[in-house]
């Protein structure tokens, strides 16, 4: 582990935590979904750094890609059924 590795992993971990907080606390549902997709992609890099390429592949394809598309589709449907729902605060 060189200092550069420590820096990269530290930044990666901090960004993951920040994105996780964004997923929970973002005020707009759209921001939540985009943060979730970004979280999935960065999580895949984290798995790669941990030496688990199989999990990384699955996380990028399923966690980030497919789940992200599903959430966007659900959001689209929500906005069509109730115009206010999509922009509403998701913090109760």
Partner 1 sequence: MTSTEPFRPWAALLPVLLVTGVGVLLAWALWSLPPEAAGLSAQVREQLPNSGVRAEVTAVLLNFRGYDTLLETAVLLTALLGVWNLGKSSLPGTDLTPGPVLETLVRFLVPVMILVTGYVLWLGGHASGGAFQAGALLAGAGVLALVIHPEAILLRDHLGLRTLLVLGPLMFSLVAGLVMLTGRLPLEYPPAQAGSLILLIEAANTLSIGLMLTLLFAGGRPPRGRRG
x/- letters, 52..71, toward partner 1 (CB under 8 A): -xx-xxx--xx--xx--xx-
- Do 27 and 91 contact (CB within 8 A), yes or no? yes
Residue with tokens 């059924």: 81
Cα–Cα distance, 73 to 48 (Å, whole number): 29
Q: Which is nearer to partner 1, 4 or 91 (CB)?
A: 91
Judged by beta carbon, residue 14 or residue 24, the one nearer partner 1 is 24
What is the C-alpha to C-alpha distance for residues 78 and 83, in angstroms, rounded to an integer? 8
Per-residue binder mask for partner 1 (CB under 8 A), 19-48, x = binder: ------------------------------
- Rounded CA separation 41/7 (Å): 19
Task: Report the interface residues with partner 1, using CB under 8 A.
Answer: 53-54, 56-58, 61-62, 65-66, 69-70, 73-74, 77, 80, 92
């Amino acid at each position: 582990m060189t200092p550069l590795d420590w820096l990269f992993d530290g930044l990666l971990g901090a960004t993951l935590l920040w994105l996780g907080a964004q997923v929970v606390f973002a005020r707009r549902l759209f921001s939540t979904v985009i943060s979730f997709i970004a979280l999935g992609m960065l999580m895949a890099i984290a798995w790669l750094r941990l030496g688990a390429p199989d999990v990384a592949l699955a996380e990028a394809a399923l966690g980030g890609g497919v789940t992200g598309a599903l959430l966007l589709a659900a959001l689209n449907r929500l906005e069509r059924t109730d115009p206010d729902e999509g922009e509403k605060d998701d913090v109760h």
